[in-house]
Structure 1
Amino acid sequence: MTTDRRVRAIVLSAALMLLLNNALTYGGLFVFDPVLLADLGVTPTALKFRETVMYLAVAALAPFGGAIIDRWGVRAPIVAGLVLIAGGLAVYGQAQALWQLYAIHALFGVGLILSGLIAVVVLVSTLTDRHRGLALGVVLAASSLGNALLPPLTAAMLESLGWRASFPWLALMVAAVIPLMWFVVGGHAPAPRAAAPVADGATAALSAALRTRRFWQLGVAAGLTLFALTAVTSNLVLFGTRELGQSVAQAAGGLGLFFTAAMVAQLLGGAIADRVGAQRVQVVAILLFAAGLLWLGRGDAAWVMPALLLAGVGWGANYASLQLLSSSTFAGPAVACILMALLVLETLAGAAGPVVATRWAEVTGHFAGAFTLTGGLLLLAAALIATLPRVPAKISPISPLSTG
């Protein structure tokens, strides 16, 4: 068993990686939307399709990413993914046409498959079975911390440097993490496995998972929550600047508040799930997320911040408990392949969020209806999780595949 000190070092390193990876391919980029619309002369829906491209790339490549991690371990894929994301950011500011942004975001999708959530969940889950929920909560909270901190930072960079000159600096942030992950994770990561046994075991385990009600309920519920997240957060800057009269910095502050609340909730949600069970925590969390979005859908500027605070708490606790519930339920030697299959369902739904909400706003003239729709869909997600057979909060990493 890896010592507690080494576990802490790996968890903190993985947290830093997720902080930069997720923020610089997602929330940290939204502050550039108004200037990109003006500079490239495109519609909001066309611009938002870049997020859809990224999520579709993740969905298409997820099964291959799971097989790579199961076969080779996590260190080499993580480093390769970081290189791809840093490279995409390095050339982002040189884009002259929308198709080039689509290509870069497709590259981001490949990078996130290799160095994103699944690699981190596999790494943390195989290092410790004590306080696993808390450890996952820490690394997942880092993702929200990045999405809270980076929008104000990138807004300041946009104002002082311009959008094109900002991206080489963002690329350097990701590149700086590469040697850290190579040396800190190396030697302590799950060992690569022999090709044939893993392939056979992964196929059998995935086939068994696909025949369970639990897999499909988890997948659909996760998809609905990610649809809600991408539909709302990818459009908060446009919502604030166009409908509420906010500056880019003020709109970025709302995005930061959402993800700050999510970060705190992820930390607390993981720890609470260790005690009372991830399923219970997730149901309550999704209901809070829904309430926040329904409140936001009223379109009242005076209540936007409280609504974002409530929605952020709900999303954060949901995100932490979902990862714990999924990794515990389908723990075993082929866990990465099964989690990647769940990720396919999740990301296909998430891919639709940005363009559906933006198109809705173009047709109706406002985002309020789209936000209300997403809140309603979350009620269905809560029902799906509530009707799952209950899973204990603490399950050994070598537990057999659940058939519930």
Structure 2
Amino acid sequence: MRLFCRTGTLHHARRVFASVAVAATVLSTAACTIDNNGGHGDDQPAAEKSSVEFQSNVKDGDTDVAVADLITVSSSEKLGDVSLTNDAGKQVKGTLSEDGKKWTAKEKLGYGRSYELKAKSEDKSYDASFTTQSPASQTSAALSPLYGSTVGIGQSISFHFDTPITDRKAVQKLIDIETTPKVEGAFYWISSTSLRWRPEEYWKPGTKVHVKANFYGEDLGDGVYGQEDREASFTIGDAMRAVVDDAAKTMTIYKNGKVVQTMPVSNGRDGGRWATPNGIYQVGDQYEKLLMDSETFGYSHEDGGYRTDVKYATQLSYSGVYIHAAPWSVWAQGKQNTSHGCVNVSDANAKWVYDNMKRGDIVEVKNSTGSTFDGHDGLGDWNIPWSTWSKGNADK
């Protein structure tokens, strides 16, 4: 009889162990002896039984086996050959414990595949054929920053999912963040598809960060399963911070607390929807050349929008605010605001920003006639107060 548990449609119990005992009984032969007194010979004692017992977290015939847990097989005696092979003939590599009695797969199994597990110990064997779960829906998550990158002191850790997440707590529990030196931080969802983690204060230069997200094989809500795990290590670089003072029409740039550059600017036109919002921005993508089209941000050309090629564009928001070269407004830079919301600078100054600032650096805009930059925009995380951020919103 096979015994296994199933919870829900795709949740096969992960800790069910099959136990198989195989015993070899040696038949003993009794020899008769006749003593001088005519007594009967004593029966020989029965040979001691020897047995090998196997244990595994899969059994022959199992279906919907969860892929999040690594397959194991163990024996009461040292294992011999062990193989785990999928339906395409690929063998899954594994490792033996120090005592040679337990084998553990090195990788998680694929969704919707068939496998055969074979193990030998002495002259006994264990054989289990099984199939893994096939989720009806999967979601992929993009992790930022990228592996090996050096980023600014304002960089948030970002996960962007291609499907709305309904079990936010489940997702957060699957993410491990390690920092050297130790830094406390908190998660916050800026949308149903975008999760962020940041510390209370800006990172200290030189901090090392490692992120591991074990999404694969896990239910992230309403039967939507993680499509893959994500992992990255990155370093916090020099503290680069730019302050755009709209009243003075200047941008002053600090490196590790010292002024390294000051340049005139022309910001978004005063008093209307084009005014550059006040607040804290994280540097995002950077482009040597970029076609800027207001229609991608919801402003039609007929309604005063634009379609313009620019050079040395440094992204400050998802809603279209950039620092970029604007040779057509050099006459106004340092004097008045003429842009549609971007920070206009000269070609040379735009190239300096492009060459010297990096993803995650901080740009602060102050004294503008505009509103406050929305913390849910995508690069405005630091505009959400820590008192709000630290409480999280996984319950929403």
The alignment's TM-score, normalised by the length of structure 1, stands at 0.19
The alignment's TM-score, normalised by the length of structure 2, stands at 0.19
Structure showing the higher strand proportion among its residues: 2
Q: Larger relative CO (CA 8 A, sep 6+): 1 or 2? A: 1
* Higher-Rg member (1/2): 2
